[in-house]
Amino acid sequence: MALTLQVNGQTREVQADAETPLLYALRNDLGLVGTRYGCGLGQCGACTVIIDGKPVQSCDITVAAVAGKKIITVEALGTVQALHPLQRAFIAEQAAQCGYCASGILMAAKALLDVNPDPSDADIRNALDGNLCRCGTHGRVLRAIKSAAAEMRRG
């Protein structure tokens, strides 16, 4: 079945069963491989995207459920030539070791900063509660998000 999705500001069509997880449509049909498969159960956050302004695990929502909604993936965050402040801060703080969880964390952080430009440490921890990272860079991630928030506030 043909389903129309709004992804990263573009209207895209996928041929998929209505119950197909959004993650599979993004990666397999649209070639947006920055969104990672982690647990497949909506518990690790590696597959986090932003849907209508909210962070959502894309493995745990169907393509039919997001038809007509605004979907943002990590590919829309920035480019090599024009990094998003979060990307710059993650690089500066060396906040990702293996990087597998980074796209999900970046998207959860972006969703937070879009609604709260000056988050406290507790706000950041709460926003990232659904994102697991085994590398142990949590302190660096926290510093990176605070640094990006400060840069974004300065304009």
pLDDT at 26 over 90: yes
For the structural domain made of 2-76, what CATH number should be given? 3.10.20.30
Q: How far is CA 58 from CA 21, 23, 147, in A?
A: 7, 5, 27
CA distance 7 to 14: 11
Average pLDDT in the chain: 96
What is the pLDDT at residue 98?
86
Q: Which residues on neighbouring strands pair with residue 71, listed in sequence order?
A: 7, 51
Mean pLDDT over 108-136 rounds to 96
Query: What is the predicted pLDDT for the residue at 97?
Result: 86
Return the domain boundaries, the chain.
2-76, 85-154
Q: What is the pLDDT of residue 154?
A: 95
Neighbours of 131 (CB within 10 A): 22
Q: Above 90 in pLDDT, residue 135?
A: no
Laid out side by side, the sheet with 48-51 consists of 10-15, 2-7, 70-72, 48-51, 54-57
Q: Is the pLDDT of residue 155 over 90?
A: no
Same topology between domain 2-76 and domain 85-154 = no
Q: What is the pLDDT at residue 85?
A: 98
pLDDT of residue 45: 96
Q: How confident is the model over 31-88, as pLDDT tens digits?
A: 999 999 999 999 999 999 999 999 999 999 999 999 999 999 999 999 999 999 999 9
Tokens of 66: 């997001």
**Entry pTM:** 0.96
pLDDT in tens, 136-151: 889 999 999 999 999 9
CA Rg value for the chain: 15
CATH (residue range 85-154): 1.10.150.120
Q: Which residue has the higher pLDDT, 135 or 19?
A: 19
Token digits for 24? 């599979």
Tell me how far CA of residue 49 lies from CA of 1, 26, 85, 92, 136, in angstroms.
23, 10, 18, 23, 22
User: Residue 6: pLDDT above 90?
Assistant: yes
